[in-house]
Amino acid sequence: MDHLIVTVSAPDKPGVVEQLAACIADHGGNWLESRMSHMAGQFAGILRVSAPVDAHPPLRSALEGLSAKGIRVLFAEVLPESLPEWRPITMELVGNDRSGIVRDVTRVLTEQGVNLEHLVTSVEPAPMSSETLFRAHAELGLPMDLSLDVLQQRLETLADDLMVELHLPTDE
């Protein structure tokens, strides 16, 4: 067995996931894991599929054929996973929304050698004001030699109003 990484996008409507799942199953594939979401009338996702190597060409062709139904797919190269050299943490970040905030936060993370593994962002009205708040929840891989305090201080220097909470997983 070997894996395929598939990125999917389509106008959001009932049946998109079912069509993908049927196509994968009909071509000898097994749906292993996925992250999928609806946003602004669109459906998007990424999934990992296992299938025998000789089934890859027909499976890829069948998935690409879903474009006739408005489902677009892209394939990424599967890289061997190595053991992480970092410890997992979660980050909660809240601050006044502004252009470039994601760029600035991710630049600090990159400068500190932090791996961004999962990111969910949103904007919402601030309570009792007309301001817009930016919120981010992220799962990060922290280098073993980087302290939570140093990372938090670096992130909080981006803006006076930025509140950052970093947490180690509860099982540690």
Q: Which residue did the predictor score with more confidence, 167 or 142?
A: 142
Question: Across residues 84-108, what is the average pLDDT?
Answer: 90
Q: Which residue has the tokens 């593994």?
A: 117
Radius of gyration of the chain (CA): 20
Question: For residue 171, is pLDDT > 90?
Answer: no
The domain segmentation of the chain, as residue ranges, is 2-76, 86-167
d(CA 105, CA 156): 9
Closest CA to 21 of 12, 13, 30, 33: 30
Q: How far is residue 74 from each of residues 19, 67, 101, 141, 153, measured CA to CA in Å?
A: 16, 11, 28, 26, 39
The pLDDT-based confidence of 102 (bands split at 50, 70, 90) is: very high
Full-model pTM: 0.76
pLDDT of residue 88: 92
CATH of domain 2-76: 3.30.70.260
Domain 86-167 CATH superfamily: ACT domain (3.30.70.260)
Write the pLDDT tens digit of every residue in 103-149: 999 999 999 999 999 999 999 998 888 889 999 999 999 999 999 99
Q: Are 98 and 134 in contact (CB under 8 A)?
A: yes
Task: Give 172's pLDDT tier (boundaries 50, 70, 90).
Answer: very low
